[in-house]
Amino acid sequence: MLSTLRPFSLYLGCAVLALLFGLTSGADTNANGAFVTALCLVILVAGLPHGAFDYYLLSERYHGAMFFAALAGYIALAGITVLLWWSLPLMFLFSFLVYSAFHFGDSDWHTQPTVRKWAWGIAIVALPCLLATTTVASLFTIITGVADLVQSTQLFGLLAIPAVIYCCWPSQTLSPNPMPALIAGYGLVCLAAGPLAAFACYFACLHSPFHLRRWRQHTADGSLFAVYGLTALVLLCIAILVWWYPVAWDQASRAGIDPSSLRYTFLALAALTVPHMTLLFSLQRNDKLAGSPQT
Number of domains into which the chain is organized: 1
Quote the domain boundaries for residue 149: 2-286
Task: Determine, yes or no, domain membership for 293.
Answer: no
Instruction: Give the burial class of 65: count Cβ atoms within 10 A of its Cβ; 0-12 exposed, 13-18 middle, 19 or more buried.
Output: exposed
The predicted pLDDT at position 30 comes to: 59
Classified as helix, coil or strand, 181 is helix
Cα separation of 82 and 110, whole Å? 28
* Cα 69 to Cα 59, 73, 277, 279, 284, distances in angstroms: 11, 6, 18, 13, 19
CB 107 within 8 A of CB 124: no
Task: Give a yes or no: residue 295 inside a domain.
Answer: no
As beta bridge partners, residue 204 has: none
Rounded CA-CA distance 174/181 in Å is 13
* Nearest in space to 43 (alpha carbons), one of 266, 280, 241, 229: 266
* 58 belongs to a structural domain: yes
Residues across the chain: 295
Q: How many other CB atoms are there within 10 angstroms of residue 37's CB atom?
A: 17
Query: In 10 A of CB 276, how many CB atoms?
Result: 23
Tell me which residues of the chain have a pLDDT lower than 50: 251-255, 292-295
Q: What is the pLDDT of residue 294?
A: 46
Question: Cα–Cα distance between 120 and 4 in angstroms, integer?
Answer: 17
Residue 1, helix vs strand vs coil = coil
Query: What single-letter DSSP state applies at residue 25?
Result: S
User: What per-residue confidence (pLDDT) applies to 244?
Assistant: 76
Residue 294 lies in a domain: no
